[in-house]
Amino acid sequence: MNILGIDPGYERLGVAIIKKESDQESLVYSDCVETDRSLDHYTRLETVGKEIKKVINQFTPSLMAIETLLFNKNHKTALLVAEARGVVLFQAAVSGVEVYELSPLQIKQAMTGYGRGEKKQVKEMVDRLIKPEKKIKHDDEYDAIAAALAAGADSLYLARLKKTL
């Protein structure tokens, strides 16, 4: 089974595909979708949509894990990211990809055993679990891989996480 992981963003959106076979996961693809600041807002959203559609068509994931948003102090940025996230959710829906929405706490819990784990710990666990063959350039890629790995965990475990966090 292929699992698509998404770390939502507007300027840079993390994307990863992991292949899960029984208890083994491997990284098939990871990258960032970057949008050009000089383009209109709707054109940037179109870029996100087209790139996600390409990834879905190429790797045919049966499941997508996407991180929910944490609102920070910059509400304008949060709204832009929310719109990009909506485009990604739309592409999953029209492609028939099941969606798991996971909070950052749930992803950290699944990756490190502690919902308030540090970003460095998540990176270390990603490196241990999948041993990436390519150099991962951005934190957004790590976050997308971690989301996919968390969604690939046992569904009973995921259900328990959703209830407790």
In this prediction, residue 44 has a pLDDT band, given cuts at 50, 70 and 90, of very high
In three-state secondary structure terms, 4 is strand
Residue 33 has what DSSP assignment?
A: E
| Residue 119 identity (one-letter amino acid) | K
- Would the pTM of this model clear 0.95, i.e. be above it? no
Which residues span the domain enclosing 21? 2-164
Residues 165, 51: Cα–Cα separation, whole Å = 31
How many domains does the chain fold into?
1
Residue 110, domain CATH: 3.30.420.10
- Catalytic residue check, 83: no
Of these residues, 25, 51, 140, 143, which one is catalytic?
Answer: 140
- Catalytic residue check, 118: no
Q: Which residues contact 65 (CB under 8 A, 6 or more apart)?
A: 3, 4, 5, 6, 99, 100, 102, 147, 148, 150, 151, 152
pLDDT per position as a tens digit, 12-38: 999 999 998 877 889 999 999 999 999
Cβ pair 80, 87 in contact under 8 A:
no
Of these residues, 25, 31, 67, 143, which one is catalytic?
Answer: 67
Cβ pair 144, 92 in contact under 8 A:
no
Given a cut of 90, whether residue 158 has pLDDT beyond it is no
- Catalytic residue check, 46: no
